[in-house]
Amino acid sequence: MSFEMSTDTDDGINEINMTPFVDVMLVLLVIFIVTIPVVKQAIELDLPNETGTVLQDNTETIEISVSENGDFFYDGILVSDEDLSFKFKMLSEQKSHLHSDNPSIQIRGDKNVKYARIAMVMALAQSNGLNRIGFVMHGIGD
């Protein structure tokens, strides 16, 4: 009977077993997921229950409508180009004498009007110092 030692098949396992490590990590992950919602990160504040008032805008609003054929309507009244320029000049002078805010100019243009007519209203208003210009986004008769 001979006792021989075989060194070819008795090599030890040189790798680390990762299964227990992964198990521990999964357990820790579950613990953190469960405990995070319990931790409250908010600061308790006792805020006052005051209500505010709405500020009234006392500025005048003028509506300028431009029809499809390029006619100007000053607050619904048909005016010529010269009349519109005169009305803007009067608004500007009234503003300077009363030391009040600029009136708001709301331009409403028909969807088929040429842009040059809209630009003319803007230029007339700005040349007279009326810089609060807005646009109404639907056409006349819509």
What integer is the mean pLDDT of 8-33? Answer: 83
CA distance 67 to 21: 78
Within 13 A of 126's CA, how many CA atoms are on the CB side?
A: 8
Q: What is the pLDDT of residue 24?
A: 94
Nearest to 108 by CA among 126, 83, 133, 81: 133
Full set of structural domains in the chain with CATH: 61-136 (3.30.420.270)
Contacts of 12 (CB under 8 A, 6+ apart): none
What's the predicted TM-score (pTM) here?
Answer: 0.53
Could you report the per-residue pLDDT of 66-109, keeping only the tens digit for each?
A: 988 889 999 888 999 899 989 988 888 877 666 567 788 898 88
Burial of 62 (0-12, 13-18, 19+ CB in 10 A): middle
At residue 142 the predicted structure's pLDDT band, cuts being 50, 70 and 90, is: very low
Which H helix or E strand runs over 87?
helix 81-98
- Residue 122 tokens read as 């803007």
Residue 54 reports pLDDT greater than 60? no
